Amino acid sequence: MNPSSTVLLTDLYQLTMVQAYVEQGMMDTAVFEFFVRRLPPQRGFLMAAGLEQVLDFLEQLHVSPAELEWLKQTGRFSPSCLDYLETLRFSGDVHAMQEGTVFFPHEPILRVTAPLPQAQLIETRIMNLLNFQTLIASKAARSVLAAGGKPLIDFGLRRAHGAEAGLLAARASYLAGFAGTATVLAGMEYDIPIYGTMAHSFVQAHKDEKTAFEHFALAQPENAVLLIDTYDTEVAAHKVVALAPSLKQQGIMVKGVRLDSGDLADHARKVRRILDDGGLPQAQILASGNLDEYQLQQLIAGGAPIDSFAVGTAMTTSADAPSLDCAYKLQEYAGRPCRKRSEGKATWPGRKQVYRQFRRDGRYDYDVVTTVQASGAGDPLLHPVMTEGRRLVPAQKLTELRQRAAAQLALLPDSLRSLECDHPYDVRISQSLQDLALAVDQCV
Amino acid sequence: MNPSSTVLLTDLYQLTMVQAYVEQGMMDTAVFEFFVRRLPPQRGFLMAAGLEQVLDFLEQLHVSPAELEWLKQTGRFSPSCLDYLETLRFSGDVHAMQEGTVFFPHEPILRVTAPLPQAQLIETRIMNLLNFQTLIASKAARSVLAAGGKPLIDFGLRRAHGAEAGLLAARASYLAGFAGTATVLAGMEYDIPIYGTMAHSFVQAHKDEKTAFEHFALAQPENAVLLIDTYDTEVAAHKVVALAPSLKQQGIMVKGVRLDSGDLADHARKVRRILDDGGLPQAQILASGNLDEYQLQQLIAGGAPIDSFAVGTAMTTSADAPSLDCAYKLQEYAGRPCRKRSEGKATWPGRKQVYRQFRRDGRYDYDVVTTVQASGAGDPLLHPVMTEGRRLVPAQKLTELRQRAAAQLALLPDSLRSLECDHPYDVRISQSLQDLALAVDQCV
């Protein structure tokens, strides 16, 4: 079974609650919103991602005969619940921020309006998709800001948390501004540019390093990027120089070299000199090896002659903050606004909209979270994307979403562009929303 | 496309290296080993997991006509490479530690012996599968040790990194000793016991909390575990007590309550008293809410009257260490042992075996990593599991692997059972392996 496309990829309690709702006839309209409660440490902003996969999931939502049969044989579900599941489709509306939108805590990035059992059942997978891609896009955006325009490539698949994580991390990082990925499937599925060099094993499998370089260049004449740190980085750089003339005779230019260990800045300087002195000024230097945004910033600030970077594990696992403090919460049922008041986890009630205010120089100034009934100045960030279970517009191209994300990052105030982000962005809760919360609390 | 089952879920460089190997006729036998270079901070041991999914992947390895067509139209691959891929099957041998085995740095847990292009191509997915499940089983085992026998349930799907991560985290944590999971698909796919209660939204969707409890109990008469922290935990506990007599008249016993926020130990004590005084001594208390092994240890040490725990995000993302410093390295090609000497990333060459020595009380004493040719005292940990691309024995039942894991944890020396693990386990590199490394270095 493909875990990415089954409705059974959910928490058991979603199904048990559906059963109770069906039995009690609680089929009125519910409004749920997905938002982040607080930023991870050292973060100043988040970037919305994953909407496309959420809409796919909702459009395809159904329980297959085999799934229904399995549910039946567990003995846990009543006939009325199973009947309901048998014909289940998603018939609700969705409002959302577009992918690539920069957002902040307390701001809903997705609102679901649907009959209660439907809106409840989809909670787990919606959170699973939005948490992960938003997490990765937000982390990747930091590397993009730190790299100062130099190309970044996702090398993270091997330590991504499973298959879908690897694929969607390639998507989310490309959305956030990475130049491409090593993950071949992301090229096939999302038309993301794919990149690759060679592994240490390739060098080791040959009796000598120079022969390995030659064999690789012959097999990849257009893309001869040679990994030079298997034994001794500078010695290998000299081998590349020595090999270049005979490759040139065969019409092959050495495209570049990859550094993957040691002091990358120091190796890059030495290797740059060796390549330049050896008549290979066009050969680029790609650096990899446990890089994160802090190391990128340091390498860039130090002027290391590195042309592009591969970023893997730190980005693809969001290593310093591998989850978001996010929630998908019921905000209204049958026309009645509601909220949770659990200690440390209280939420703002009702259907909300977010308005963004801009400074004179075009940068973000502050946001206002308010009720949908209240009018707001500035740009509303939540837009209708699905009505009665159908997309309002066809899926946007990933390249367009990527341009949008880049435009969003360009408008960040400088205080949010630094990796430390010590001045939190101003998110205001409107008076109408504060009034609503008070009114809701008095009713319970 | 199901990302879990396509050979294109790989790094581009695997395919470019395959092309070079095919073109150079480098089809001799290669030996790769998967191992972990060092433990994450605060960890004393790791638990092997993910072998079953690796063997599935290898048995099913092929390139479909659609995948081949896509590779062709990229223009990156030569006809001889595409011909090779068209008929590709995995025909190699695999030796491995059984899932649930406790292991340590420098110890291979998987060895692949296969023609070089095959052994290379599978690297990315093997690492992706073994890194993740081993990471989660190792993290989950810490919670199992901390919980002192109290049942643990995986609640992590919503913040797992995508679909496969959620499903396989349920598997890995059950293997490591969790009692079950909330993930329904893990019940269907792996026959793991599934558990669930209710969400805050269920309470909020009702006009009053007591009615919500009643509706839930009616829908789940055998499994009435009520979430009591939506508004005020102790007030809700009194509502449960007030509701119990009328439920009893309908033949329903309150099975338990769930606490999900605030000071769990304090709430548990107060709620236990309310339930006991209210004639519900049988009602159990389940605690959840951002729990990790440290909080479990503290709650248990403090004697909090909590009967079971749900552990989510911290376990399913291995939040304090979301990746392993693991590698899949070429150790031998065409009968010639080899190793990588990159700074800080050097590896031990050749085919290896691991022998475990036991103390008189049956606990682990130390391990020896040695060449396969050398004989060793103690139990060898790597066993043949696949020959010429076929499993040697049918897939083991997950419940059997789980028993094995429990037996392994029971034999840990006390120094490794504590969460701090400040005394590293003794892993010795045999003289024969040290001699081989010296010999290999002199040949390059």
Nearest Cα neighbor of A50 from A187, A167, A151 is A167
Task: Determine the distance in angstroms separating the CA of B361 from the nearest CA of chain A, rounded to an integer.
Answer: 38
Mutate to test the interface with A, among B1, B8, B12 (most CBs of A within 10 A): B12
Whether residue B230 and residue A342 make contact (CB cut-off 8 A), yes or no, is: yes
Q: A11 vs B155: CB contact, 8 Å cut-off?
A: yes
Alpha-carbon dihedral of residues B226, B230, B233, B235, nearest 10 degrees?
-90
Alpha helical stretches, state H, A220-312: 233-249, 264-277, 293-301
Which residue type does B88 have? Answer: L
Residue contact B230–A8, C-beta within 8 A: no
Token pair belonging to A47: 């970037």
Among A323, A330, A347, the strongest candidate for a mutation testing the B interface, having the largest count of B CBs within 10 A, is A323
Q: Determine the Cα–Cα distance for residues B418 and B43; give it in Å rounded to an integer.
A: 9
Beta-bridge partner residues of A93: A113
Q: Please give the CATH topology (third level) of the domain spanning A3-137+324-443.
A: nicotinate phosphoribosyltransferase (3.20.140)
Distance CA B187, CA B195 (A): 10
A157–B10 CB contact, under 8 Å: yes
Give the model confidence (pLDDT) of A239-259 as tens digits.
Answer: 999 999 999 999 999 999 999
Ranges of CATH 3.20.20.70 domains, chain A: 140-316
Q: Scanning the structure block, which residue is given the tokens 């399995």?
A: A70
Query: Which of 3.20.20.70, 3.40.1260.10, 3.40.50.300, 3.30.43.10 is the CATH number of B140-316?
Result: 3.20.20.70
Token couple for A179: 């130049």
Instruction: Give me the mean pLDDT over the A283-292 stretch.
Output: 97
CATH for B3-137+321-443, options being 1.20.1740.10, 3.90.1300.10, 3.20.140.10, 3.30.360.10: 3.20.140.10
Contact B15 A196 (CB under 8 A): yes
Check B342 against A196: CB less than 8 A apart: no
Q: What share of chain A is helix, strand, coil (3-state, %, to 5)?
A: 40, 20, 40
Task: Residue A318: list chain B partners with CB under 8 A.
Answer: 322
Q: Does A342 score more than 80 pLDDT? A: no
The whole-model pTM stands at 0.97
User: Within chain B, which residue ranges are assigned CATH 3.20.140.10?
Assistant: 3-137+321-443
From CA A295, how far away is CA A307, in angstroms rounded?
15
Q: Is A30 within 8 Å of B230 when comparing Cβ atoms?
A: no
Do A432 and A370 form a contact (C-beta atoms < 8 A)?
A: yes
Q: What residues does B287 pair with on adjacent strands?
A: B259, B309
Residue B340 is predicted with a pLDDT of 77
Residues of chain B positioned with their CB less than 8 A from the CB of A19: 219-220
Neighbours of B207 (CB within 10 A): 13
Q: CA nearest B125 in A: which residue? A: A158
Contact state of B128 with A12 under an 8 Å Cβ cutoff = no
Its ipTM equals 0.96
> Are the C-beta atoms of B34 and B126 separated by less than 8 Å?
yes
Nearest to A166 among B12, B128, B184 (CB): B128
- Name the segment(s) of chain A with CATH classification 3.20.140.10: 3-137+324-443
pLDDT at B315: 98
- Strands B390-391 and B383-387, sheet pairing: antiparallel
- A381-431 pLDDT per residue, tens: 999 999 999 999 888 899 999 999 999 999 999 999 999 887 899 999 999
- Among chain B residues, the shortest Cα distance to A80 is held by B219
Nearest to A128 among B125, B162, B262 (CB): B162
Residue A28 CA to residue A22 CA, distance in Å, equals: 11
Which residues have a Cβ under 8 Å from the Cβ of B185 and sit 6 or more positions away? A1, A3, A6, A8, A9, A10, B166, B167, B170
Write down the H helix ranges in B280-319. 293-301, 313-316
- pLDDT tens series, chain B, 444 aa: 789 889 999 999 999 999 999 999 999 999 999 999 999 998 999 999 999 999 999 999 999 999 999 999 999 999 999 999 999 999 999 999 999 999 999 999 999 999 999 999 999 999 999 999 999 999 999 999 999 999 999 999 999 999 999 999 999 999 999 999 999 999 999 999 999 999 999 999 999 999 999 999 999 999 999 999 999 999 999 999 999 999 999 999 999 999 999 999 999 999 999 999 999 999 999 999 999 999 999 999 999 999 999 999 999 999 999 999 999 999 999 999 988 777 777 789 999 999 999 999 999 999 999 999 988 788 899 999 999 999 998 888 999 999 999 999 999 999 999 998 878 999 999 999 999 999 988 865
CB–CB contact A200 B329 (8 Å): yes
Nearest CA in chain A to B73: A188
Q: Would you place residue A444 in the very low, low, confident or very high pLDDT band (cuts 50, 70, 90)?
A: low
